[in-house]
Amino acid sequence: MSSNSTMPTPPNPRSSIAEERANPSFPVRELTYWIDGGHRVTELKERIMLELERDPLWRVSDHPNLSLAETRERAMSKIRRLADLATSRPLEETMIRMSIISVVDPGFWTRFGVHFGLFFGALQGQATPSQMAYWMDKGALSMQGITGCFGMTELGHGSNVAGLETTATLDEKVDEFIVHSPTLTATKWWIGGAAHTATHCAVYAQLIVKGQCYGTKTFVVQLRDTKTFALMPGVNIGDLGKKMGRDQIDNGWIRFTHVRIPRSHMLMKHTKVTRSGEVIEPPLAQLAYGALIQGRVSMVSDSANVAKRALTIATRYASVRRQFGGSVSAGAAETKLIDYPIHQYRLLPLMAQTFAMIFTAREVTANYEKLMGELSDLGEAKDAAADDVIKNLKETHATSAGLKAFCTWMCLNIIDQCRQSLGGHGYSAYTGLSQAYSDFAVHCTWEGDNTILTLQCGRYLVATALDARKGQPLPENLSYLKGAVSATGGLSDRACKGDSAEQVSSLDTLKAAWSSVAANAILNAVRDFEAGLGKGLSKDDAYEFSSASRLHAARMHTYTYLLHRFAAQVDQSPTALRPVLTLLAQLFGAHSAVQHSGEFLQSGFYTGPQIETLKGFVSHACSEIRKDAVSLTDAFNYTDYVVNSPLGRFDGDVYEKYFELVTSLNPAKPVPYFDSLIRPLLERTNETEAGPELEIDEE
């Protein structure tokens, strides 16, 4: 280095992040209220976050250093306190508390949710009123006498619930069901809570009465004696051990060997079995779908909540981390990561995706709650009103399937992209995102494998398009097809009329563009399905024949649905928030379009030059949103406790706190294997026994 060189200016992260908050383009607190659904909810969330932070039971900073046994024990220590709160506080407060816990400690959220969400949810959705009263008296709500688990998946079956092998055979002589695992693959597998905790299980099994199989139904089976905790006769349980993530939950396997339960332990809200062995099927079998939707809807919200945390960490770190740039000779500060256009392009489209999930989750949750109310009021009706409710149920079932799949995929990608944006620090267990990825990955598999759910959504899209061709009205979530499909059933001749950035990227243009692309994908899936029928395939085989195009149609439809829901929320938002939310919605639609540009060219909506203009708009939108990036994450309103990463601290003091955390959790101490392994390695000699002399051929 030359003698006149100057040392670079050391970073000052606190001042760096303070700069970011100096002049937001929108009222940050007002956006928090809009995201949360009002100031009352925001204040309740803040109170709950503070309660968790101050409770020693809820310490989370040392999670990376806990063993499997310690992780499970720590989780179990929280169960009683939360169970008492869940039964003594208003339902809204409990739901908000659980949504925060799902971010703070997702493994515990799963362990607690197995009982309250899955086991108790099965009772709520499938028990008759008298059965519900019976299990409530037994302590099913309060966990006083009963802890439950959910026995659906098996070693040999997961997504194909109809193919489960566990049987429940009625023994009419004694009015009992015999629950049995006839094969190794019938072993219940991945059953959360089974290994250590559960006394009872909601078991999904094939109903067999008088030699006839009536399909998969739900039965409550006692696993352990509630006093001694010994396994009940015929029940074998084992521990599945270490997993990729969420080790707080004690997943196990269960085998049943001719286990007898009272006939009344079959949940009979829908299908009923009488004392004489008569099986009474429900008039509206589709009502059972309702129980499957809740978990999928909740995962759209969970995807948004987890993505908010990942982006808070990555965006705040990018605003204080300085790398390259600046004049070393002049002692200038290096450039913030967030000031590099490529870093903006790396993170800010993910911000737009997260807002799309936030607002879609709000709408789909409201629609689900409305539907559940309609189903509750329906009773045994079979009139036109019942037909409308069933149509809404099918629509919500398909929409939630597609959203669950694509939002969980989207969130998992957001976590990993944010982790990678932290550089080498992202690989540390103490910076928050490596474990977040491991914990969240299961969302892409449970409550329905994402690919299978996507195909279900695609099947619904094909069937609905075929019904529309016959004159049936389009459901609300496919209303965009009205303008995108011509009277002859083909794609309408719609195209972007202007070439300027304003014309190509307006929210109305992007909505029309995505509608056209989704319609084109659905029509292609219909053509593939009909081609399968034309080859002589059965209806089911024709759907399999068109599976690739069905999956693609579901992907394009879900992007379209997300954009439309985002735009609807922008229209309803407070005036002061509308500019920034509009730009985020445009970025979501435009960036997603650029990522799938071939689809827009194929549909004829955009030309090649218009796609190039759209790319330019994406860069422009990123540079504009960059000015508000930190303020947008502030509006997510996660405290440092919830963020749980030294790199995502509100005050920007990332290096001091990171160093403190690592050194406090890993104090200096003697190396335990020095004498047994390291010393022998260092002190070994090079002496070897002399071997025989070998003759070398001379040429």
Residue 112 half-sphere exposure, CB side, CA atoms within 13 Å? 26
Residues 364, 369, 89, 296, Cα dihedral to 10°: -50
Q: Angle, nearest 10°, between helix axes 290-320 and 13-20?
A: 120
Q: Is 93 buried (19+), middle (13-18) or exposed (0-12) by CB count in 10 A? A: middle
Q: Are 123 and 115 in contact (CB under 8 A)?
A: no
Q: Which of 447, 476, 624, 693 is catalytic?
A: 447
In whole angstroms, give the CA distance from residue 246 to residue 71. 9
In whole angstroms, give the CA distance from residue 460 to residue 437. 31
Write a three-state SS string for 506-544.
CHHHHHHHHHHHHHHHHHHHHHHHHHHHHCCCCHHHHHH
In whole angstroms, give the CA distance from residue 488 to residue 564. 25
Q: What is the CA radius of gyration of the chain?
A: 29
Q: Are 398 and 392 in contact (CB under 8 A)?
A: no
Q: Are 5 and 328 in contact (CB under 8 A)?
A: yes
In whole angstroms, give the CA distance from residue 453 to residue 443. 12
Q: Has 153 been labeled as part of a binding site? A: yes
Q: What are the Cα distances from residue 163, in Å, to 113, 167, 185, 457?
A: 26, 11, 11, 20
In whole angstroms, give the CA distance from residue 189 to residue 403. 26
In whole angstroms, give the CA distance from residue 237 to residue 275. 31
Q: Has 252 been labeled as part of a binding site? A: no
> What six digits make up the tokens of 553?
């149609």
Active site residue 447: yes
Residue showing tokens 């392994």:
677
144 CB-near residues (< 8 Å, 6+ apart): none
Q: What angle do CA 436, 440, 446 make, to 5 degrees?
A: 165
Q: Are 548 and 455 in contact (CB under 8 A)?
A: no
Q: Are 462 and 532 in contact (CB under 8 A)?
A: no
Q: Is 695 buried (19+), middle (13-18) or exposed (0-12) by CB count in 10 A? A: exposed
Active site residues: 447
Q: Residues annotated as binding site for FAD?
A: 153, 192
